[in-house]
A and B are shown apart, each in its own frame.
Chain A
């Protein structure tokens, strides 16, 4: 028996694959036709094949729990999510525009702060941000770029439009899973790749490598590039190792590096010390250098900030770049784009209420049961209130938190996140909510991944897509052609 599409109910949400009256959307046409040809046993076989492939390839992520850190297999749904190439083209332009403006904004903040002087954004909003680093004032990184690697979370609302939900400019993760999702899907649904209208995604490591090389302070043929990981207990360790391997870069921990009296960074090798030119760091600012930030950090490298300030080593992303992914700053991004680029934003923000503003705060407090409240500086979906799914007690708790520290909270309307058919039992597909995290690179040039990482809330009705909280993922197909 094949899948009963008639029972598939998209409800009020925008479904990525199925349009009005249960008709397939154009980019999904081939995919759905193919899935239709599989009976439920065949579909189940493919699902098991995916599971075995994930085990075999050792795709995993680490979950922190009371019983220690567990390495879990990557949760994956075999039904891909499709987007028309024409629509993606526009979205990619919007992402580049956004990162360009954000980088100009960061450079300005650590320099003349003209945007504050011109009254576009209040000084206290940025200068009091947890991620503003006075140590960075006056530094001029290569190409004037601070955030070289950005993971932008996009969501589609009921109107079918993409909105930016947040910008991740510190140490965004997930790109390895985007690549692995494609590798798995190629093994599981090989027939669909024969026609060749699904765009490849695998040039990311090479583009990342080029981006990093272009930051090297030494103009030499083969600069030494390293990926700095906090170590095996980090939830994204798999990705750190994966990227290092794909780029042919060394995967290092803080203790492998040392800063010399000449302010250069060296790594300890079996032949002695070797100079490092570019560090793709996957540890947070505050752990980078115990001489400057967290004194007891064992993850970092003493003297690293000194080396970076002296221009002897490049750090990607630069320290202090996180000031622009503060969720309060987020609300100002459309203004930031207009201010620096004199252009209209190509992708919209989600409507955002700033609790810092008395009037908006009152609105938020009056509508806690409808809104999503987020702390300004958390990631991974922690510390949020999802109004419609919350209890009175939780709402009261958040009201207290907001009044105590208004600068630290924003609120947004509960979006009707788009859905896509997801395998939830043998031969059974139901809509599940999802988002999309494309990765944007910027150095001298900019680049956007073809699609990105689609994350799915595997629980019915849930809007939480984070893998640390039970989310899964899907392959994302940018399909040649028009329409949506």
Chain B
């Protein structure tokens, strides 16, 4: 398989995941606001921080209000990780890999892009937002379903798996970090209430609330949520699950030894969660380190399979 095709498939999966994640994040925030006690002020701007996009945001907008943040996250084409930008990149990657993807993929992606572009105002205005985001998420799930249901489990599939799982792993560390930061920030009289809201929100943002309840059989608490999202071996968006799946993909690919070692190392890099210790700065440092490891992992993919210079090059 051509390196370039492998790289495009990898990004196809990453962007597809990114579109869905962004839509879900905005959607969760949207419904969260209905539930919050008035005295608690959870800012939309947290979503910008979560995406590490503060600098870009500040270049574009002065006011950190709902409208600007939602516009920035969903529609802004100067923001390379906005939903529309990611969807466009998804489309371009699929367009150039049509020969290795199931025939209907292009059509579905194209339709989804047209839908999002034509109805983006629905996403920005509050009244139509839920419906719009819901359709967008379903569109992504439909594409994933098509891929899962019809693709041969050959190298093409393995690169999609790598992309999907790396993007998910990255997202889960960001969500946990945002939760911890919000908790530290809000430590005051209303802490208990806030904790429930914050960590419930983290779970919903990863589509994990139902699974959490069934698996953990306990009320929502910071350490329990962190344990579930980091270490559960069955939930498809937990860090552990994503890393193991990348490892099993790598084992089927040529020249994967260095990448495999790297993954092993991240799998072993764990944080000891203690029910009696609230999550604090130390935990944030750990998450930060994880993100750096994931960045390195991406570079490692690049060097191994996508790189422009390879062994034996003239």
A residues adjacent to B (C-beta < 8 A)? 56, 58, 232, 241, 244-245, 250-253, 255-256, 258-261, 266-273, 303
Q: Chain B nearest CB: distance from A312 CB in Å?
A: 13
Chosen A-B contacts, 18 in total, with CB atoms closer than 8 Å, are A56-B107, A58-B107, A232-B96, A244-B99, A252-B4, A256-B4, A259-B314, A266-B312, A268-B3, A268-B4, A268-B310, A270-B253, A271-B254, A271-B255, A272-B311, A272-B312, A273-B311, A273-B312
Classify the interface of chain B: helix, strand, loop or mixed. loop
* Bound CA span A244–B98, Å: 11
B247 within 8 A of A: no
Q: Do B110 and A245 touch (CB < 8 A)?
A: no
- Check B312–A250 contact: CB distance below 8 A: no
B277 within 8 A of A: no
| Interface residues of chain A: helix, strand, loop or mixed (majority) | mixed
Chain B residue with Cβ nearest A250: B2
Q: Closest CB-CB distance, A426 to chain B, in whole Å?
A: 26
- Minimum CB–CB distance from A54 to chain B (whole Å) comes to 12
Task: Evaluate whether A256 and B2 lie within 8 angstroms (CB atoms) in the complex, with A58-B106, A245-B99, A270-B155 already known.
Answer: yes
Contacts of A268 in B (CB 8 A): 2-4, 308, 310
Closest B residue to A231 using CB positions: B96
* Binary CB contact string for chain B from 161 to 200 against chain A (1 if under 8 A, 0 otherwise): 0000000000000000000000000000000000000000
B305 to A270, Cβ gap below 8 A?
yes
A255 to B307, CA, bound (A): 11
Q: Would you list the 8 A-B pairs with minimal beta carbon distance, nearest first?
A: A271-B254, A245-B99, A270-B305, A268-B3, A260-B314, A270-B6, A273-B312, A270-B1
Assess whether B209 is interfacial by the CB under 8 Å rule: no
Q: Which of B1, B3, B254, B314 contacts A261 (CB 8 A)?
A: B314
Does B231 have its Cβ within 8 Å of any Cβ on chain A? no
Residues of B within 8 A of A258 (CB): 313-314
Task: Please determine whether A269 and B99 come into contact, CB atoms closer than 8 angstroms.
Answer: no
Number of interface residues of B (CB under 8 A): 24
Residues of B within 8 A of A267 (CB): 2
| Residue B293 CB within 8 A of the other chain | no
Interface residue? B95 (CB, 8 A): yes
With the chains together, A255 CA to B313 CA distance in Å? 12
Asked whether any CB of chain A lies closer than 8 Å to the CB of B92, the reply is yes
For B91-106 the 0/1 string (1 means CB < 8 A from A) is 0100110110000001
From B3, which residue of chain A is reached at the shortest CB distance?
A268
B313 touches which one: A252, A270, A273, A303 (CB < 8 A)? A273
Q: Is the CB of B98 within 8 A of A252?
A: no
* Set of chain B residues within 8 Å of A251, measured between Cβ atoms: 99
Q: Could you tell me if B314 and A253 are in contact, using CB atoms closer than 8 angstroms?
A: no
Which residue of A232, A259, A269 is within 8 Å of B2 (Cβ)? Answer: A269
Given contacts A268-B310, A269-B3, 20 further A-B contacts (CB under 8 A): A56-B107, A232-B96, A244-B99, A245-B98, A250-B2, A251-B99, A253-B4, A259-B314, A260-B312, A260-B314, A268-B4, A268-B308, A269-B1, A270-B3, A270-B6, A270-B255, A271-B254, A271-B255, A272-B254, A273-B310
CB distance from B163 to the nearest CB of A (A): 14
Nearest-neighbour CB distance to chain B for A36, whole angstroms, equals: 35
Measured between alpha carbons, how far is A260 from B92 in the docked complex, in Å? 31
A56 partner residues in chain B, CB cutoff 8 A: 107
For residues 135 through 165 of chain B, which have their beta carbon under 8 Å from a beta carbon of chain A? 155
Contact B314 A241 (CB under 8 A): no
Task: Write the B1-31 contact mask toward A (1 if CB under 8 angstroms, else 0).
Answer: 1111010000000000000000000000000
Report the minimum CB–CB distance from A239 to chain B (whole Å): 13
Contact of B254 among A58, A241, A270 (CB under 8 A): A270
Cross-interface CB contact of A232 among B1, B3, B92, B313, cutoff 8 Å: B92
Q: How far is the CA of A134 from the CA of B156 in the complex (A)?
A: 43
Specify which of A245, A251, A256 lies most central, judged by the most chain B CB atoms within 10 Å of its CB.
Answer: A251
